[in-house]
Structure 1
């Protein structure tokens, strides 16, 4: 094939493209996809994907890589290794660090601190300052297109906004600038009321879900929908946990409100029985709920009601998780397990579904959907001109996760002992191998800070 612009050809796989799944070859040069063809050119380095799917690099729009200030739990070296081991090539990091990233200059400083340490590209959700809710009105979208709002608190959420007047001001300011709000939607006032009535937090994990009940996120979601209707603010509700939340947000979206929601692998994978039996490893905020809720969340995924899948990768050390129930922090590592856990669940729940249909759904919610929602130019699709972020995925390989597989700094996983179906074999970032499972190797930390406004280089010029 004369005149072909290619440095790498990914051959033999089934390509998951925006228009469907097809056999073919992906050509890569200069960090971009230069073409999709039926035949590999001569004289080009080849990556053999025979018998496997080739996906666009996945996007996890909900991670806590703990930089700065909490790097005893996780850091960008380990977090980005966990990401590429799970097929994730772009992450969006949360602001609840020490100090929290509440101002543009803090975001720039964070990007500079991460530079040269990340295997994946990255963007940030800026934090919302309860003392300066009006600040979102002047937010530069080159710094962040989205802002995180914690409506309830926990161990690493220092900037909770539960006051109704302050929340109203936040929604009004975000609407004026076009900023997307991403929300931890639980009702802190309800938590405080129940804790006072019960004499404090739970003392046993068998009581944990009852102490942080479904009424809390349901109440918060109703409040969010009222504010969205009042101001026209775009809102993305994170980690839905209950059937009622899914019904409410789906109904509001069908009624024309600009609201979307995220599902997490852990709310799809575990139930409250796992928390009662296994304790802190599946202590989450919001809590893991019952089988009926889990069934409704899976139905939301299958129906396309959810906009994104996220890991809420929030590691803590083993020692922190082993504290007494009242003091153990919520959260688990999950960026490495995200795609495989969801794929495993889909294949077990819907075994008769065509695998090509299933893999398109995974890519829709873990690549195309977040790229569209967060305006990540060049990401989330296999197409000429897109970034050369690719994943070679074996859909049928069974394997058991052990602690030795965990790339996160904390060294543990709630999925230890699980037998997964499907495995990431190779992850390509900007045309270079970032992870090779067979060789057990990782690439160089060449990840970039992405600007949603710049589809050419992803470089805002801010360092």
Structure 2
């Protein structure tokens, strides 16, 4: 990311162009948490100053003082399903982006399993045009892998997409599952040739079909986790690692759910392979015991596993073995979720709850940890990590030249989440009744307020479709 050299700027001219100054006692920067001022013009950060520096900004320039709140860079959720097009009875882009900014997210990456699925460059362009004027957040799209034409990834235009979603297992809203191992290998070859980052739902669909033929469908949610066992994920992750080793393809495992998978990917990455993994808020927040109690509210794919698995995922977060945290925001209507065990679809809303849910978990698990260390970890996984992994220039850090995306975060606020708080179109949350620690008080995108918790008001729906960095450009790894 190009940074402006303040010593080369004419200070008077800089001040003349300023739109806003944000002052904070706890500004979260790549160098650490410190007091500072963020000078903003034209939607970008012009400078980050120490508060001890002489304040030469004209009094006419608007100011915001964050007080004792942390000021974070705008967060990035690289795994959402905003359901546009074709499934907007569950969620639509306006509601999804409201949930995002209320949760501190200013950038999202949307998945392709819509109706029709987003499998071509033209479909991505059409989707972007459909969303224009309806988004509070900046956005990019993961294109979908067409199992019939995996070779398309070799010539994917990086201005359209630099990442492709691969479903290795199917469920209610996964219409393009790659079951043929030959087609899967072709996808890895093509992605390596085209410089495309694969993001994978890594479970073995043929293994699940075999087990389903023996066991039959689950009759209740006490059986659910066992009917979608860890063996499916372990087998698929092992296959992904071998294909990465063979072809050098960059691969990111989504919503990794078990301790064994975390160990496999961590070992592969330590061995120098370009493979990484995401943990999700719901796998950090719930266990299979919650699914037995809550039923469809926490029915997921991959399923939520046992306490030991959750503990390993938290350790992956603390150690930095995981690269990103995603919400896998995948709403369904109450009517859909209250069908029989056999028919109820997996998935739950989560972008609004993600950052505060993870923060709540960190403060409860590690109560004696310095909060500055904890907030740096949150930013690393929810801002810096996805910005680097998916080549999102101008995102993920508060530095000169970056987009002026900022979040005012109250780390010690406690509040109980209710359905009234939910901004997603579905109107429900698996976290209802939770006492949360931490609250997003204000979210700015491009230097303008898009969410204010005090008033409950949103900003302008002028979020941008982000142009993609050329595939040949490398950024700092996560």
TM-score normalised by the chain length of structure 2: 0.94
Distance of 1:7 and 1:148 partners within structure 2: 39
Distance of 2:416 and 2:119 partners within structure 1: 40
- Spell out, residue by residue over 1:272-315, the C-alpha distance to the aligned partner (whole angstroms, 9 max, x if none): 00000110000000000011000000000000011101000000
8 Å contact 2:24–2:71 — kept in the other structure? no
Aligned to 1:21: 33
Determine which of 119, 139, 157 is the counterpart of 1:140.
Answer: 157
Aligned to 1:459: none
Distance of 1:453 and 1:233 partners within structure 2: 18
Aligned to 1:95: 112
Determine which of 184, 187, 201 is the counterpart of 1:184.
Answer: 201
Distance of 1:101 and 1:155 partners within structure 2: 16
Distance of 1:131 and 1:13 partners within structure 2: 54
2:183 aligned with 1:155: no
Distance of 1:405 and 1:273 partners within structure 2: 25
Determine which of 269, 279, 296 is the counterpart of 1:263.
Answer: 279
Tell me how far 1:27 sits from its aligned partner: 1.2
2:349 aligned with 1:337: no
Tell me how far 1:426 sits from its aligned partner: 0.2
Tell me how far 1:452 sits from its aligned partner: 1.8
2:333 aligned with 1:299: no
8 Å contact 2:188–2:247 — kept in the other structure? yes
Distance of 1:272 and 1:10 partners within structure 2: 44
Tell me how far 1:2 sits from its aligned partner: 5.0
Distance of 1:95 and 1:307 partners within structure 2: 22
2:256 aligned with 1:240: yes
Alignment of 1:121-136 (within 5 A): 121-136=138-153
Determine which of 389, 404, 407 is the counterpart of 1:373.
Answer: 389
Determine which of 100, 114, 126 is the counterpart of 1:83.
Answer: 100
Determine which of 255, 262, 277 is the counterpart of 2:293.
Answer: 277
Aligned to 1:411: 427
Distance of 1:239 and 1:158 partners within structure 2: 18
8 Å contact 2:286–2:304 — kept in the other structure? yes
* Matched residue SS, 2:222: helix
2:439 aligned with 1:423: yes
Between Structure 1 and Structure 2, how many residues are aligned? 453
Q: Which moved more, 1:438-447 or 1:43-52?
A: 43-52
- Spell out, residue by residue over 1:243-272, the C-alpha distance to the aligned partner (whole angstroms, 9 max, x if none): 000000000000010001001000000000
Tell me how far 1:453 sits from its aligned partner: 2.3
2:63 aligned with 1:46: yes
2:327 aligned with 1:311: yes
TM-score normalised by the chain length of structure 1: 0.97
Tell me how far 1:71 sits from its aligned partner: 0.2
8 Å contact 2:287–2:307 — kept in the other structure? yes
Tell me how far 1:43 sits from its aligned partner: 2.4
* Matched residue SS, 2:358: helix
Q: Which runs of 5+ in 1 are unaligned?
A: 455-463
* Matched residue SS, 1:91: strand
